Amino acid sequence: MATALAASPLVNTIAHAQSAAALEAKAPPLPKLGSAFKVPRITLLDGSVFDPAKAEGQPLLVYWWASTCPFCALQSPSMDKLWRSQKSRGLQMLALSIDVKPEPAVAYLKAKGYSFPAAWASPEWRSAFPKPQGLPVTLLRGRDGKLQLAEKGQLFAEDVDAIAGLI
């Protein structure tokens, strides 16, 4: 009986949730507004590369999300709308999936038709650039390289729309 229980989906789900909670407890707080904010180079889910040097001097929106996050599911349509409307004004964006594997993120983006640049934040990459506490997490770096916005938790559509005024 113990062997069957150990392999059950419920036990695996509980173990995953406990592991995620432990990682979240160790996550750093949001960075301070006005602080310098740099993002490492990362390969995007479409195979292209996000080069931070090309984002220098441009507003950069960083958005941590997961395909299984219900709050991300509510915020992501507004993030895609913002990306589509503001990229011509120089907005750079990096959406970082924290899914366990990249495949669910790829499938989710395709199913939803989102066009924002997205990458899978592997455990190795996250050790160099840790996700702050919370999910979703939204950060906006201004043209001056300083953090202008740092929010954890779901932003409503009107909150995401207001980001355009900071660009």
Domains of the chain: 31-166 (3.40.30.10)
The most confident of the ranges 101-115, 116-130, 132-146 is 101-115
pLDDT band at 30 (very low <50, low <70, confident <90, very high): confident
So what's the pLDDT on residue 140? 97
Higher-confidence position of 156 and 30: 156
Question: pTM of the full predicted structure?
Answer: 0.82
How far apart, in whole angstroms, are the C-alpha atoms of residue 27 and residue 24?
A: 5
So what's the pLDDT on residue 165? 94
Find the mean pLDDT for residues 3-16.
49
Contacts of 76 (CB under 8 A, 6+ apart): 65, 112, 114
Model confidence at 1: pLDDT above 50: no
Give the count of alpha carbons within 13 A of 21, CB side only: 6
Q: How far apart are the first and last CA of the chain?
A: 59
pLDDT band at 21 (very low <50, low <70, confident <90, very high): low
